[in-house]
Structure 1
């Protein structure tokens, strides 16, 4: 099977490797002030949730495909720093708003 037909997370193997390298580079370059990588989606009333992998659930603002204030669940978390108010999922950065109690979402 060629690389272009092997799919992980909806992309080719080389696409996944490129995406994970970019994710690692972005996390490595954090300087305590937050990301400077373009659009950062805000998530409010959030709590740390579990799927088979850690994720966030909450109301997003500024997401490219989810309407503002709609409840959303992030993709897998690769970086989570509630003290800095910042999280990085597989697909994007999140600026953490007000946390919420996890039982609220069940």
Structure 2
């Protein structure tokens, strides 16, 4: 998906969530889902040690919220919750070795 398409999709999602009370009354979706259950799935994210995070102690390893934009050349990334300035990159095995299993 292109960056422009992703931005359009996220704006549409944000608009729908902001107006859910009006949308829910007017909606009769064409698509239904039957015998459904709530589950989880893996999404791209960053793992690392944030610096200057408002609620995470400096140096404590964390996994970010879902990653939507990554530009290593510019040294920036955007997750669902915030922008990050990218520091030193490591291979994912660095974290696998330290926390065990899949990061």
For the aligned pair, the TM-score class normalised by the smaller chain equals: 0.5 to 0.7
Which residue of 90, 94, 104 corresponds with 2:80? 90
Structure 2 residue ranges without an equivalent (≥5): 1-15, 20-40, 97-103
For the aligned residues, what is the CA RMSD?
Answer: 2.2
- In structure 1, the partner of 2:17 is 13
- Higher RCO (CA 8 Å, separation ≥ 6 residues): 1
Q: CA deviation at 1:59?
A: 0.5
Task: Tell me the secondary structure at the aligned position of residue 103 of structure 1.
Answer: helix
1:71 to partner: Cα distance: 0.3
Which aligned pairs between 1:1-80 and structure 2 lie closer than 5 A? 13-14=17-18, 52-80=42-70
Secondary structure at 1:55's aligned position in 2?
A: coil
Distance 1:92 1:69 in 2: 18
Residues 17-37 of structure 1 show CA distances to partners (whole Å, capped at 9, x for unaligned) of xxxxxxxxxxxxxxxxxxxxx
CA distance in 1, matches of 2:59, 2:83: 17
2:91 aligned residue = 101
TM-score of the superposed pair, with normalisation by structure 2: 0.54
Figure out how many residues of one structure are paired with residues of the other and give that number. 61
> Structure 1 stretches of 5 or more lacking a match?
1-11, 16-50
Q: Which runs of 4+ in 1 moved over 3 A?
A: none
Per residue, is there more helix in 1 or in 2? 2
